[in-house]
Structure 1
Amino acid sequence: MSRSIGAHTADPCPRCRVEEVRIGIPSSARGRDAVGYRCDRCGHTWSRLLEDDLDVYDTVRVDLPEATIYGTVQQVEDDRVHVRDTDSGQTLWVDLWRVILY
């Protein structure tokens, strides 16, 4: 289960279960666009496929370098998503690979 650490959300490693903030990097997995992650403790690597079925009003988590935000999808384009931050009400465009459907 994820938990808040400062301005970020930490996720557990699937292998060693150590919670850590991992922003991820764009990659490919099995011929599809994905986000790759690596555990600094045990070295395990894994990936998640990019969200390909986002709709307006979906609730999402966005992992940014400076913070993790939770919000609502306002608009979806090919490689970016317009999100309204639940806490501040501000909107921002983010890269699709940073978005996790919640």
Structure 2
Amino acid sequence: MLNGLLLLGAFLATFVGMGWLALAMNAHWKQVCKGLPSATTVIVLRSLGGSALFVSLLLCMGVDHASMASLVWVMLLAASAMSIAFILSWRPRLLAPLIVWATPAS
């Protein structure tokens, strides 16, 4: 049961991290909200995205040994990246809750 929760947490962290990394790009930011992100917002989004991906790796390591955990983590990265890409092409506004705290530069 605990392993399943850790893997679910790893998937959510990977999904959110990929979303933040995508929203750090001007093209994807424009799809979700108007204007451009400020330089500070871009730095914060990249830092949050990288940190979330690292947390997901740690959660995967908590479930299995290193070789299996890294394989699961890479598969989670691929699944999350594809999910974010599909959301950006279908309904990009679904990612707006990830940046509710951010404001455009102008």
> Same fold by TM (over 0.5)?
no
The structure in which a higher percent of residues are helix is 2
Query: TM-score normalised to the size of structure 1?
Result: 0.26
Which structure: greater strand fraction?
A: 1
